[in-house]
Structure 1
Amino acid sequence: MSKMRAFLHFEMKKIIRSRSVFIFGVLFSVLLAAITVVQLYTLPSTSGFTKYSASFLNVTLFLLPLFTLSIGALSVASDVESRWYALLSTYPLSSKVYLWGKWLSLVLPFALLVTVGYGIVLILHAFYANQAFDVIMMVFAFLTIVIFSAISILIGSLANNRIKSLTLALGVWSFFLLISDYLVMAIGTFVAGVVLHQLVLILTFVNPVQWIRIGYIIYSGNSSVLGPAYFDFTEFMSSPLGIGTYMVCSLLWVMLPLWFSGKMLSRSGDK
């Protein structure tokens, strides 16, 4: 435990000094505040999944994966490229401590800045009592941090230099956020609707962005926006078994990337 605490403290200092996380915090807070001001003071008070909710969700799923993937991948790849990880391997520091320390050093600062951003939104809501604060959105923002921080470490372990890690991180971000949707639309032009529906459901499990988006829509009580094609799926995911399935799959999105990261680092002859 003392080794983990010391390593985590060291990694946190490195990330704070880079100031990249603070850039994210400023962008995130400004965007959320701007969206909130527009909703509270220019649009009527509404409930359910509105343009306001969609804007919050899009900002969360756009900025959080972008910054966590790039910063996390660069951090791990930099250690490998500079041989810092090889030096750490000569000390009584296991690869598990290294991986979990890297993961926590990403999760904690991003979680703090997301809390600050939503805290600003909550203050703005305090001046407009008729509008409810979306707590579930904040929960799924934390889930986004947890999942993509783990994926970023895997990307960094696959790359042997910082340039490659940044390229991979941006490529993965582009695929999850942009390319996959266009691929589905392209495939939908020449396959049957039933096949396309099954494909979309499969992609929901293998694309963490869609996994988080669908999870928010269902568990915020707005599953009707998905349409009748998702009725059976939403009914299952809303059941106790479905909630358990969602939690287990979300956990796998964290554990599997970290496990593969350990394997990749071990192949290079490190612990």
Structure 2
Amino acid sequence: MNKIIKYVIADLLRSRTILVYTAVLLVLSFSVFSMEDNADKGVVSLLNIVLFVVPLVSIIFSTVYLYNSAEFMELLVSQPLRRNVIWMSIFIGLAGAVSLAFAVGVGIPVIFYAATASGLILVLCGCALSLIFVSVALWAAVRIRDKAKGIGLAILLWLYFALLFDALVLFLLFQFSDYPIENGMVALSLLNPIDISRILILLQIDISALMGYTGAIFRSFFGTGGGVALTIAVLILWSAVPLWFSLRFFKRKDL
């Protein structure tokens, strides 16, 4: 297992896509922080980059890599190796490389400019989103044999989590504006890892104070020890559940 992980990580770290991804994040992060006079303002400016770019790159890059590595996986399956070992090794290698690229690209500027709780949460949430969307990519790629359709599904999933989900939430807010549905919004936000990350980061900067009553509801839940523990558990589930379904399908799949 360790040999497969080392091979996948070494192969990915030589990838031009990963190198460009790291360099772009590094340049953007240093540029954003150098233009802001306050560390928290820099974190807020980086927030949208983390919430949109990181999931997009993680899911698309991982999906393309899996399709391009089909022959490599066939070779591994032909060896006396258990399929769950092969699949978990590929996941760990992919997730490790993508998370490392993000940690270098955003983590280093954060250390220099925003070594605060908000900066730390930004980096941790970015790494968590990398793991989650690599896991989702594995599920999409193993379910669909055709490469074009698989990449299309990956893009649709990203669009749903990054844009369509928030549009749905806004629609519900407008439709039920006469009812006290703030607690329901808290539960609904747990259905989207991007929203969870956004809330955790904004609460560290205390922008929730500008959100009025709704912000107070979010702070009363996510700001408590129990709320944080539940949030961490939900993020772990978002990473583990798609991976588990993809592993089940891979073990039965005829390559």
TM-score range, shorter chain: 0.7 to 0.9
Q: Is the 8 A contact 1:7 1:98 kept in 2?
A: yes
- The change in CA–CA distance for 1:195 and 1:143 in structure 2 (over 3 A counts) is same
Find the counterpart in structure 2 of residue 103 from structure 1. 91
Q: 1: distance between equivalents of 2:199 and 2:158?
A: 18
Does residue 80 of structure 2 align to residue 92 of structure 1?
A: yes
TM-score normalized by the length of structure 1:
0.81
- The change in CA–CA distance for 1:103 and 1:224 in structure 2 (over 3 A counts) is farther
Find the counterpart in structure 2 of residue 149 from structure 1. 134
Find the counterpart in structure 1 of residue 62 from structure 2. 72
Give CA deviations for 1:220-250 in whole Å, capped at 9, x if unaligned. 5554244312434422332222222112111
148, 152, 165: which one pairs with 1:167? Answer: 152
Q: 2: distance between equivalents of 1:192 and 1:221?
A: 25
Q: Is the 8 A contact 1:72 1:152 kept in 2?
A: yes
Aligned length: 253
Q: 2: distance between equivalents of 1:100 and 1:267?
A: 15
Q: 2: distance between equivalents of 1:141 and 1:64?
A: 7
Deviates more, 1:175-184 or 1:224-233: 224-233
- In structure 1, what residue type is equivalent to 2:3? A
Deviates more, 1:17-26 or 1:189-198: 189-198
Find the counterpart in structure 2 of residue 204 from structure 1. 189
CA RMSD of aligned residues (A): 2.6
- In structure 2, what residue type is equivalent to 1:70? I
SS at structure 1 position matched to 2:79: coil
Question: Following superposition, which runs of at least 4 residues in structure 1 exceed 6 angstroms of deviation?
Answer: none
Find the counterpart in structure 2 of residue 128 from structure 1. none
The Cα shift of 1:269 comes to 3.8
Q: 2: distance between equivalents of 1:206 and 1:101?
A: 27
Q: Is the 8 A contact 2:142 2:246 kept in 1?
A: yes
Find the counterpart in structure 1 of residue 26 from structure 2. 29
The Cα shift of 1:168 comes to 1.3
- The change in CA–CA distance for 1:193 and 1:78 in structure 2 (over 3 A counts) is farther
- The change in CA–CA distance for 1:163 and 1:205 in structure 2 (over 3 A counts) is same
Q: 2: distance between equivalents of 1:19 and 1:259?
A: 30
The Cα shift of 1:195 comes to 6.7
The Cα shift of 1:140 comes to 1.8
Give CA deviations for 1:13-35 in whole Å, capped at 9, x if unaligned. 33234321112112111111111
Which runs of 5 or more structure 1 residues have no equivalent in the other structure? Answer: 126-130
Give CA deviations for 1:37-76 in whole Å, capped at 9, x if unaligned. 1104xxxx4x75x4x3221111111211111101111222
Does residue 98 of structure 2 align to residue 113 of structure 1?
A: no
Which runs of 5 or more structure 2 residues have no equivalent in the other structure? Answer: none
SS at structure 2 position matched to 1:194: coil
246, 253, 256: which one pairs with 2:231? Answer: 246
Q: 2: distance between equivalents of 1:195 and 1:165?
A: 40
- In structure 1, what residue type is equivalent to 2:171? A
Q: Is the 8 A contact 2:84 2:251 kept in 1?
A: no
Q: 1: distance between equivalents of 2:188 and 2:86?
A: 31
